[in-house]
Structure 1
Amino acid sequence: MRIFSLYWVCLFLFSCTNSDLLNIQVENTTSHDRTAEMIEIPLKEIYDQLDIEDFNDLRVVDEQGLPRDFQLTYDEKLIFLVDVPRESSSTYKIIRGKSQLMDTLVLGRQYPERLDDIAWENDVIAFRTYGPAFQNKGNLGFGYDVWVKSVSSLVVEERYRKDLQESISYHVDHGDGLDCYSVGPTLGAGANALLEHGEIIYPKSYASYEILDNGPLRFTLHLTFHPFALGSEENIVEHRMITLDAGSFLNHTSVHYENLKETSEILAGIVMHHPNGNQYAIDKNGGYIAYADPTEDSSGKNGEIFVGLSFPKEIIKTEVRPLTDKEKQTGGILGHLVGIDTLQPNGQFNYYWGAAWSKANFKDLNEWSLHLKQFTVHKRNPLKVTLSLSK
């Protein structure tokens, strides 16, 4: 599989010989400070303004002239993290300058040595989706897995290595977090699915994948699934585009289906586990769902994993979805918290899903719910970016 990596890893040498080329004004119209939030600027807009053809020998700095890490993405955008006070604006600049050393804060890959898992992480959280080899052994893992972490460094590669080569289990916290989340035959931490006559059509493992961005600031994964039937419609193929940015607890996911001919119901969901059947918050108008998962050890030893969904556009409904008789065969599962919408043929379903840990990130469900509430407000009120030539 191809991995696109569009950034430079060199030594930054900033000096007074750098010349300002382009001002980037970022405006925040909300009543919240926007800190370490990713912005995107189409490279074409920059190239047109500067009458250039590439980003070679160009850098991004803040108002004080300090360098900002940046990335050029597979879909030809410049991205970098910004800080903008409430109801105010901040200015960044594109300048001429030599290459800079950038920390890799986001990374992922497929792990064929672990049944084709694909795992990815940033500086605050890690995730996993199960692969074909996992399914071919008779395992059921439809949804997303969460690996919590208590350090900002990248940990997934080393956890796999120790687990597979030294029998040091990543299900035990050795000082940087662990995998203590249970997925099973559910949607896990936020997977999507179509509905048929009100029942979830659980997706199986991915059929193929492509890693489109792999750090330093963004990981983008394209998953393609095996064809399936929905009613009289056959050969429906699901495509998911999953993006995780540095510093974010939530992945953005965009879903579309080939050969879908009729308007269909689609949902994204979070599994609920015993005994936390009432540890959740749902706000349809606010566009988010929050849940406190008890982890695989309900004694509280591993704390709680906070799982969430955020919908940048209004959806039809949110609900607590009870188990079907078939689903009840799996012990410890109470149901799903879901957001449901309609999907038109050739349409896309966009939402965010993710998680955090009570032992590292948020104190309780109230703090996590507030984070999701503000996150959704921010996505519904994006920062406004304006470019202008430096004088």
Structure 2
Amino acid sequence: MKKSKMPFNQLFKTSLLNRFCLLTFAGIGIFSACKTEKTYELIIVVENTQNYERKSETIEIAVEKVKPLLEKFGANNLVIENPDTENLLVSQWIDLDGDNSLDQLIFQVDIPGNNSQEFILRSLEEREQQPESELTTFSRFVPERTDDYTWENDKVAFRTYGPEAQRRIEEGEPGGTLSSGIDAWLKSVEYPIIDKWYKKNEENPGAYHIDSGEGYDPYHVGSSRGIGGVGFWEDDSLFTSKNFVEYKTRATGPIRTVFELKYAPWEVNGKMVEETKRISLDLGSNLSRFESTFTSENEIPNPTIGITLHEKEGEVKANEEKGIFRYWEPMDGHHLGLGVVIDPELVQGFKDHRVEYKDGSQLLIMTDPSNNKLTYYAGFGWDKSGQIENKAEWDAYLEQFKNKLSNPLKVKVKGKKK
């Protein structure tokens, strides 16, 4: 849970002003200089029904539930307070569809097991400031490195490839990449590294492939799905799109980054399919959320999520009943845990597909989405980062991630109060 950084002495003085009246005696009159009692408008109740603590959990509030407050005070003048500590929480407003109208208010909380907590949504008071956090999420299009799209939070970073990278490959020019797979950037620091690594790579090509203390990019994608890319498995073949052709950044901020990628139609065993992919990543999470929407004039075949097995030196573990699939592999003297978490109702089967040709060996997860929309989570944990120590911890992380998805925090917005 991200807290405001108000100095203790200021917090102490503010607390005193909130609780005690300063009385001024003037002649026969007594004038109260006390601050009026704090008023607030809405209470957000968050309940954890599980027996373990939920840390840095993102709470989403639809804008319709807070619209009167938003219209009255404006987004920049609304804050969320933890009344138990009187701390203000870092929050973020999101416009999901790019229509210049806010759709969500999000913030993060820590809730003990089998417990509930109230938070206050109110207007910013005099002498207060919106709280800030050193930690953040981030994503952007990267034209200086051909045309990657890259995203990160305090735990992990990813990237994928655009049309210029595809053109260079197809026209035989250097510096291209032909892939719609998802690359993993292994970071070992909490602060943002995307801009820094790309700048270093401009000055010294290949710099981000060398670990200089913040992490590096040793992960090979090639024509594989990388970690969480999509294709279609039919007739013992995987049909995949080429690079994305359009991007739209929807949000970037202290809690969540959201963007969309569009892919040109491609042939799947005689059928033409299009994909639009919405990707989001929350602060504190090792897994990105992927939501792919497919369109076709024909019946869409079963989408397949992939994890590359590289040189087949790692270990696959799959649990169809829980919707958890992972690969644990050695990498430059350390280990990398890859994982996909999905609603098990969507899983049609999986295949530990191992072949001899380059980039062909993959853990493939066949799915049957409803309404041609497929939602899943994919990401990684690197033992050198200190986030996980071993394979058992990575398995436990994926298990708990799935349990949280299956048992979300209960959120209720109460009516006005003064």
Task: Settle same-fold status: TM greater than 0.5.
Answer: yes
1:233 Cα deviation from its structure 2 partner: 3.5
**Is structure 2 residue 123 aligned with structure 1 residue 102?**
no
- 2:80 alignment partner, one of 41, 46, 60: 60
Alignment match, 1:292:
328
**Is structure 2 residue 317 aligned with structure 1 residue 281?**
yes
Amino acid at match of 1:349: L
Amino acid at match of 1:337: L
Give the SS at the match of 2:246: strand
> In 2, Cα distance between the equivalents of 1:45 and 1:78?
10
> In 2, Cα distance between the equivalents of 1:81 and 1:248?
12
List aligned pairs for 1:331-346, cutoff 5 A. 333=359, 335-344=361-370, 346=371
Cα-Cα RMSD: 2.5
> In 2, Cα distance between the equivalents of 1:347 and 1:318?
18
Amino acid at match of 1:22: L
> In 1, Cα distance between the equivalents of 2:51 and 2:349?
26
**Is structure 2 residue 115 aligned with structure 1 residue 88?**
yes
Cα distance change on mapping 1:171 and 1:51 into 2, 3 Å: closer
Alignment match, 1:201:
239
> In 2, Cα distance between the equivalents of 1:58 and 1:154?
27
Alignment match, 1:218:
256
1:347 Cα deviation from its structure 2 partner: 2.4
> In 1, Cα distance between the equivalents of 2:281 and 2:297?
27
Bigger shift: 21-30 or 309-318? 309-318
1:29 Cα deviation from its structure 2 partner: 1.4
Cα distance change on mapping 1:174 and 1:77 into 2, 3 Å: same
- Does 1 or 2 have the higher relative contact order (CA < 8 Å, sep 6+)? 1
Bigger shift: 280-289 or 246-255? 280-289
Cα distance change on mapping 1:120 and 1:190 into 2, 3 Å: same
Does the CA contact (< 8 Å) of 1:26 and 1:91 recur in 2? yes
Amino acid at match of 1:25: V
What TM-score do the two structures reach when normalised by structure 2?
0.82
Does the CA contact (< 8 Å) of 2:257 and 2:281 recur in 1? yes
1:229 Cα deviation from its structure 2 partner: 2.8
**Is structure 2 residue 142 aligned with structure 1 residue 117?**
no
1:100 Cα deviation from its structure 2 partner: 1.2
- 1:37 alignment partner, one of 57, 76, 92: 57
- 2:383 alignment partner, one of 346, 358, 362: 358
Does the CA contact (< 8 Å) of 2:44 and 2:411 recur in 1? yes
- 1:329 alignment partner, one of 333, 352, 357: 357
Bigger shift: 137-146 or 213-222? 137-146
- 1:244 alignment partner, one of 281, 305, 309: 281
Cα distance change on mapping 1:383 and 1:140 into 2, 3 Å: same
List aligned pairs for 1:71-220, cutoff 5 A. 71-75=92-96, 76-97=103-124, 98-103=128-133, 105-138=136-169, 139-167=177-205, 169-220=207-258
Amino acid at match of 1:245: D
1:378 Cα deviation from its structure 2 partner: 0.6
Alignment match, 1:3:
none
Does the CA contact (< 8 Å) of 2:44 and 2:413 recur in 1? yes
1:173 Cα deviation from its structure 2 partner: 0.8
1:50 Cα deviation from its structure 2 partner: 8.1
Amino acid at match of 2:209: H
* Larger-Rg structure: 2
Does the CA contact (< 8 Å) of 1:315 and 1:339 recur in 2? no
1:224 Cα deviation from its structure 2 partner: 0.4
The count of corresponding residues between Structure 1 and Structure 2 is: 370
1:144 Cα deviation from its structure 2 partner: 0.6
1:218 Cα deviation from its structure 2 partner: 0.9
Cα distance change on mapping 1:93 and 1:312 into 2, 3 Å: farther
1:40 Cα deviation from its structure 2 partner: 0.5
1:196 Cα deviation from its structure 2 partner: 3.1
Give the SS at the match of 1:20: coil
Bigger shift: 42-51 or 252-261? 42-51
Structure 2: runs of 5+ lacking an equivalent: 19-34, 97-102, 170-176
Does the CA contact (< 8 Å) of 1:274 and 1:334 recur in 2? no
Identity %: 29
> In 1, Cα distance between the equivalents of 2:143 and 2:372?
32
- 1:374 alignment partner, one of 400, 405, 411: 400
Amino acid at match of 1:102: E
Give the SS at the match of 2:106: strand
Structure 1: runs of 5+ lacking an equivalent: 1-9
Does the CA contact (< 8 Å) of 1:321 and 1:338 recur in 2? yes
Query: How big is each residue's C-alpha offset from its partner over 1:309-353, in whole Å with a ceiling of 9 and x where there is no partner?
Result: 0113523344233246xxx331xx572223221135x42100000
> In 1, Cα distance between the equivalents of 2:226 and 2:243?
13
Give the SS at the match of 1:371: helix
Query: How big is each residue's C-alpha offset from its partner over 1:19-77, in whole Å with a ceiling of 9 and x where there is no partner?
Result: 32211111111222111011101011112588848434210111321011000011311
Give the SS at the match of 1:23: strand
Q: Which protein is richer in helix relative to its size?
A: 2
Cα distance change on mapping 1:312 and 1:80 into 2, 3 Å: farther
Amino acid at match of 1:379: L
> In 2, Cα distance between the equivalents of 1:69 and 1:351?
27
Does the CA contact (< 8 Å) of 1:11 and 1:100 recur in 2? no
Give the SS at the match of 2:196: helix
Does the CA contact (< 8 Å) of 2:226 and 2:306 recur in 1? yes
> In 1, Cα distance between the equivalents of 2:354 and 2:168?
25
Amino acid at match of 2:183: D
Give the SS at the match of 1:227: strand
Does the CA contact (< 8 Å) of 1:362 and 1:368 recur in 2? yes
> In 1, Cα distance between the equivalents of 2:220 and 2:206?
19
> In 2, Cα distance between the equivalents of 1:311 and 1:92?
31
